[in-house]
Amino acid sequence: MRVLVTGGAGYVGATAVRSLRAEGHEVVVYDNLSKGHREAVPSDVVLLTGDIAERSKLDAALREHRPEAVLHFAASIEAGESMRTPEKYFRNNSAWTLTLLEAMMANGVGKLIFSSTAALYGEPRHIPIVETDPLEPTNAYGESKLVGNGCCYGLGVYTASGMRVCGTSMPQDQTATRESAINRSLTWSRLYCKQQPENASPSPSMALTIPRPMAPASGTIST
């Protein structure tokens, strides 16, 4: 399958790209490199440097590469920062997700996997969080992703709410656990997509019910 991965030079996106390549999919990455790294993108994968705010660049990317699906990881993800500059989060995670969706619709791309977040659920009432738990974000990051989810209303979109899988200060020996959690989430998303008819109603946010791999280390990004 040909897929375009927004945020594919970032932490989760780059892992998704490696996983997709390993399964033989054709991948194009679309990333503004604000937080991502060129080196994180495998050398045999096309990296388009662009922002999801740039409609004309998105149109050109979708026209040229004709992906069958988009995996949307591009976002601002720091809960603390989101409380200081909420407008940045609502632009990037809500408004510009809508720009991406409009570009997809205009270019006939009908499949999206939206990388959501457990932050939609706020303080967990129990672990694991389940899909039917109340959506009660406690920060602008979670709110902005919830609005991003809502932008998908009426489309055949599948969202995967992440668990806390990463932290910048985690010891190296935990990398395998983190990557395995991400890969499990992607596998889950793919399975879910396969089970859905083409014209299925959009899913609400779907929380992964896998246990958190570990408690966050201090200084980690709370996502």
User: Which residues in 169-181 are b (16+ Cβ under 10 Å) and which e?
Assistant: ebeeeeeeebbeb
- CB of residue 197 vs ligand NAD: minimum separation in angstroms? 26
- CB of residue 182 vs ligand NAD: minimum separation in angstroms? 8
Between CA 95 and CA 98 the distance in angstroms is 5
DSSP string, 140-192: HHHHHHHHHHHHTTTS-EEEEEE-----TT--GGGHHHHHHHHHHHHHHHHHH
- CB of residue 93 vs ligand NAD: minimum separation in angstroms? 7
Calculate Rg over the CA atoms of the chain: 16
The footprint of ligand NAD (CB under 6 A) covers: 6-7, 9-13, 31-36, 51-53, 73-75, 77, 92, 96, 115, 117, 145, 162, 164-166, 223
Residue from 141, 153, 158, 192 carrying the catalytic annotation: 141
CA atoms within 13 A on the CB side of 144: 26
Q: Is 141 noted as a catalytic residue in this protein?
A: yes
Closest CB to ligand NAD among 199 and 218?
Answer: 218
- CB of residue 10 vs ligand NAD: minimum separation in angstroms? 2
CB 8 within 8 A of CB 31: yes
Closest CB to ligand NAD among 34 and 198?
Answer: 34
Closest CB to ligand NAD among 99 and 198?
Answer: 99
Closest CB to ligand NAD among 173 and 198?
Answer: 173
The DSSP bridge pattern shows strands 2-6 and 46-49 to be unpaired
Residues involved in catalysis: 141
